[in-house]
Structure 1
Amino acid sequence: MSIDFKPRERSAFDEISGISILMPRMLPASLPEKVGDIEFQYSFRRDGQDVGALGFLGTEELVEIDGRREWVYTLDLSPDIVLEEILRFKRAIGNADPDAEFLQGLAQGLVNAFAGQTSNVDDLRYVAIAHADDLARVGISVPDGPARLTDGSIVLADVLVAAHVI
């Protein structure tokens, strides 16, 4: 059975593997390429013990949709080093899913770690992407079904966290 990370408060949890993805630390990128670059630092835990970690870059952008403010956070899983680390983590936990399926499941967990937020005054959208060329370079077949963007990115997962009125 495939991994399936469900949102929990400040985390996402896969019942089959017993792994939690904790809501990450988000820091300004140490060497930003452009304004809005963020470093996401995730921890993976099972039975109260660390079983892995993952860090990568992304962006944040404020957009207006139908007159409402929405912060869009893009998690870029494309760099080879990030994709290779995801595959190492897959092997370390003994997951037998096909690589593309595991990547999509983990990506959904990464964004679902944010879904339990209740103190946001604006809508927040978290989108995990990877580029088809990068997936092919590390031997992951390009998944069928996910949305493809004009820049060659593939949307692996996304979640919208609606604004909460305080």
Structure 2
Amino acid sequence: MGRSRGGLTSKIHLAVDGRGLPISIRLTPGQAGDNPQLLPLLEHIAIPRPGPGRPRKRPDNVVADKAYSHPSTRVALRRRGVGFTSPERADQIAHRHSKGSRGGRPPAFDATLYAHRNVVERCFNRLKQFRGLATRYAKRAAYYQAEITIAATILWLRNDLQDTA
């Protein structure tokens, strides 16, 4: 009998706000690629507005690592009017260069904006403070997802307590 999705080979895909608090979480098998998970991850974002109105569903900008960098992702986010900052992978650069002048220009990359990607890494580090997440005791995906949700809720509550103090 093999390991389930919540076992040692699972990945957590995480979208965080500017303060490093999780706003969307997705759990996938470890062998699944990162890039196909970006758009579904962004679809689950819903930021309530102050006062009446629909929740905000679209971020101003997405800052991601190379694993999420793919031309199809760039096109999809451009259609939605979302800025995307991610370094190009070496194989994509080589493919663009092999096409010569038909390869087009390299995508825009803002290094100062990309430097803020560390808020995601800091959020992962805060989540790893929860022993059950760091050691992955949960065997089933549903239990592991529940642990992640509880840990994210605790992070939000801790932040609210710090804001009021």
TM-score, length-normalised on structure 1? 0.34
Per residue, is there more helix in 1 or in 2? Answer: 2
Per residue, is there more strand in 1 or in 2? Answer: 1
TM-score, length-normalised on structure 2? 0.34
